Amino acid sequence: MTSRPRHVAALVAAIAAPALLAGCTAHPDEVWSEVRTAVVAADPAIEDAYVTGATGPAGVDIRARVYVTDTDEETIERVIDAALTAMIAGSPDRPPSLGLDLALAPMPSDPNLAAQPLDITDVVTEMQLFDRYSNGVISASIDYMEERYGRWEDLRP
């Protein structure tokens, strides 16, 4: 192969790679819908969930507000573990990061993530998640969450 065909082949590969790789990632709406279904089914105290996030080169980040029917500490701890596990397992692709907060049910017709979530400081402190908790939201990279809850590949149904 001469120098020119190599350059052309390299250029074609560089141009085609993003388009080909984009096909490996589920559409964000699909991710959020599948995660919502998994989260709502994860625990009886979860009445509903609003799931959204952001997309980037690493994939689809997941952010969920879980609407709970019970706010006692034992229930909240169980809901946090169940929801975070479901967020990992329910995603069709391995998400780069997860964010979770809780609010009292019912979910409003127009959910607003800027609205104040439940204060779960005592529970996240007890669960040793306080260093991952800020402004009412538990958030961390997928690597951290997988260490705690299991690998995405192993949790997928």
Q: DSSP characters for 42-79? A: H-TTEEEEEEEEEEETTEEEEEEEEEES---HHHHHHH
Q: Output the pLDDT for position 54.
A: 92
Helix (H) or strand (E) holding 105: none
Provide long-range contacts, Cβ within 8 A and 24+ apart, for 8-12. Answer: none
| Positions in the chain whose pLDDT score sits under 70 | 1-25
The predicted model scores a pTM of: 0.83
For residue 137, give the DSSP letter. Answer: E
Q: Output the pLDDT for position 23.
A: 44
Domains of the chain by start residue, with CATH: 27-155 (3.30.300)
Q: Output the pLDDT for position 2.
A: 54
Q: Output the pLDDT for position 74.
A: 98
Q: Output the pLDDT for position 157.
A: 87
Alpha carbons 127 and 60: distance in angstroms, whole number = 26
Q: Output the pLDDT for position 5.
A: 55
Q: Output the pLDDT for position 26.
A: 83
